[in-house]
Amino acid sequence: MSSERIIYEADLGRIENGLKVLEDGVEVLENGLDNVYNQIDTVNREVLDSKASLNALIEEFHLFVRKDQLEKNIQIAETRLVKVRQELETKFGHYGEVRRRVTGILQAADVGLVKKGTIENTTEEQMLLAPRYWLAPCLIALSAWLNDNHELADKAMMEALRRDDEKTSLFFALVTRRGARYKASRAWLERYFGLQDPHQLEREIVVLIDGFTNGIFGADSRAKISKEIETWINELSERVGFVEEQHEQWKIALKSKQQKLNANDYTYLRKNSTSWPKLQESLEGAKLYQIIFDYFSEIFSKEITPNKGIAYAVDALLDTLVSKFDEEELPNRRDERLLSLIIENDGDKVAAQQLFDDEKTLEERVSFNQLLTNFAMHADVSNASLATQKYSISLSKNWIKSAYDDLTVKNRAIVPVDIDLEIDQWKGTTQDGSNEDELIQSLDYHIETRRKDALSQVKLKLKYWIGLAGGLMFAYLGFSTPFLFVFALICAGYFYIGKKDVAKRKDHIRKDYNNLLKYCREELLASLVEVVDWREEYKKEDENSVKFTEFLDSISPEQYTFSSHDVARSVVN
């Protein structure tokens, strides 16, 4: 019989129905939400699609705008180019004609084809047509000279000099050289060099310097032009800070020959000495003495042989000079070049401007002292001949010497007196490795101290002491309850194991420290051997420093700067 008693049977039907309705409602709501989510997804997809389309459209639009801009740039450039060319034709059309005539006459005279009378007639009209152009009177002077008309030649020459002294001087220096008139050529070249500003030289001067150092303008010109160049040096030296600048420039140039030590050299010092960076730098610096000596002595040991290539380069300069645009034309010519580049680059103004700027940097002028350093130290890059290299070094002798002396002093100053050693936490110092015994003792003491410290750290752990205490306690209690002796034995065994472990660990530590001591001693001895080697090598390299100084002293500038013909002064080479 059940003890349960029903008090009242509840009618849950209505609640159940209500819950059912609620459940249905929730289901409807869920469906509705699903629809909403679907719609959101659809909208989202559509938004993404629209965004992609819009991006594509924007890209297309940008491309269109860019294309349109480029096309417009081309159109504008083409229109402007026509205008610039018209202007050039109107203003300087005759200049081109003069250039063509000069080239023609030079070529014709070279092969003796044109009658002198024809040359005279053609040139006079050019003079009238190009009233400001320097080449027109040059043309008349040249043809009058060829026609043996001294008066006209002089008159035209004076007019040409009035219009452009520098170019006229160079023109006649080159023409007279081509015609083997060395005396006149020397006079013209001397004038041309005299007109130059040594702070701002055109790059073409390299060819002329190479020309005169190799005797292309005749033996006399070497001495005369050399005097002119000496005045450049004096003039440059007058500028405040020039000497210091040269000093620094030469230091950098000499230092650029420095080489890194072999990575396999001094491996122990690299590893065990904190002074290694200084040791490395000073030894590399000391090795530089021999490198510099070898570099310069090799240059001076070579024999100069006149080079045909240099003569042809000098000759080519005449063609360049004659065909080059006049400075008066340059603004228009530059516009013309930039506009042409814009058209060539399909309207891309930025790319065209970049190319234009790159071309312009080639026109930049350089100072003579910069040229001298480049000739002496980077002859391959500066295309300097052996004669020019020797000449530049001779001219720069005092600057090189002062820079070299400074490098030597600075290098000696960084040589460490004490060389610090650091081997596995041990630190020591040596000067020349002579305190080896002292350092070994110090190392031994250091390792011994560390070993003692390490051994003192190895102690029996508390749990083993508890084991011992438990063993004693159980042994005591075992007298009243004998089976507790078993526990006493277990505890004693546990304690014994602990003790054994401690002894084993200590043995291990002793062994480790013995190995460490052996390793450290080997490292120390090897490092000390390298210290001795380093000191010896440094001393040997440092002794070489004097070789270059003596070599420089032995160079007689007159010999290479051609300022004297007295070969009795020659000492070297």
Partner 1 sequence: MNNESKVLDSNKARDQKFKLAMEELEKETTNTALVTQFPQWDLKPPVNLVKRRSTKLL
> Does position 151 bind partner 1 by CB under 8 A?
no
Residue 395 near residue 557, CB atoms below 8 Å: yes
Output the 3-class SS for 277-334.
HHHHHHHHHHHHHHHHHHHHHHHHHCCCCCCHHHHHHHHHHHHHHHHCCCHHHHHHHH
d(CA 469, CA 150): 132
Q: Please say which residue, 187 or 423, places its beta carbon nearer to partner 1.
A: 187
Q: Please say which residue, 88 or 173, places its beta carbon nearer to partner 1.
A: 173
Residue 39 near residue 31, CB atoms below 8 Å: no
Among 103, 122, 196, 370, which residue interacts with partner 1 (rule: CB under 8 A)? 196
Q: Which of 364, 334, 395, 318 is nearest to 107 (CA)?
A: 318
Among 158, 316, 466, 546, which residue interacts with partner 1 (rule: CB under 8 A)? 158
> Does position 200 bind partner 1 by CB under 8 A?
yes
Among 104, 194, 470, 478, which residue interacts with partner 1 (rule: CB under 8 A)? 194
Among the residue ranges 127-135, 302-310, 397-405, 451-459, the one whose residues contact partner 1 (CB under 8 A): 302-310
d(CA 29, CA 340): 73
Among 312, 445, 476, 519, which residue interacts with partner 1 (rule: CB under 8 A)? 312
Q: Please say which residue, 96 or 104, places its beta carbon nearer to partner 1.
A: 104
Q: Please say which residue, 181 or 333, places its beta carbon nearer to partner 1.
A: 181
Q: Please say which residue, 69 or 305, places its beta carbon nearer to partner 1.
A: 305
Specify the DSSP class assigned to residue 431. Answer: S
Specify the DSSP class assigned to residue 201. Answer: B
Structure-block tokens of residue 240: 């405040």
> Does position 321 bind partner 1 by CB under 8 A?
no
CB of 239 to partner 1, least distance (A): 7
Among 311, 341, 377, 528, which residue interacts with partner 1 (rule: CB under 8 A)? 311
Phi, psi of 181 (to 5 degrees): -95, 75
> Does position 161 bind partner 1 by CB under 8 A?
yes
d(CA 562, CA 213): 8
CB of 423 to partner 1, least distance (A): 54
Among 92, 95, 133, 145, which residue interacts with partner 1 (rule: CB under 8 A)? 145
CB of 542 to partner 1, least distance (A): 28
> Does position 191 bind partner 1 by CB under 8 A?
yes
Q: How many residues bind partner 1 (CB under 8 A)?
A: 61
Q: Which of residues 76-135 bind partner 1 (CB under 8 A)?
A: 109-112, 116
Run of H or E including 346:
none
Output the 3-class SS for 68-106.
HHHHHHHHHHHHHHHHHHHHHHHHHHHHHHHHHHHHHHH
CB of 565 to partner 1, least distance (A): 9
d(CA 62, CA 276): 60
Q: Please say which residue, 222 or 451, places its beta carbon nearer to partner 1.
A: 222
Output the 3-class SS for 102-113.
HHHHHHHHHHCC
Q: How many residues comprise the chain?
A: 573
Question: How many Å from the N-terminal Cα to the C-terminal Cα in the chain?
Answer: 139
Structure-block tokens of residue 55: 């991006």
> Does position 346 bind partner 1 by CB under 8 A?
no
> Does position 1 bind partner 1 by CB under 8 A?
no
Site residues, partner 1 (CB under 8 A): 109-112, 116, 141, 145-146, 148, 150, 153-154, 157-158, 161, 165-166, 169, 172, 176-184, 187-188, 191, 194-200, 214-216, 218-219, 235, 238-239, 303-308, 311-312, 315, 559, 567-568, 570-571, 573
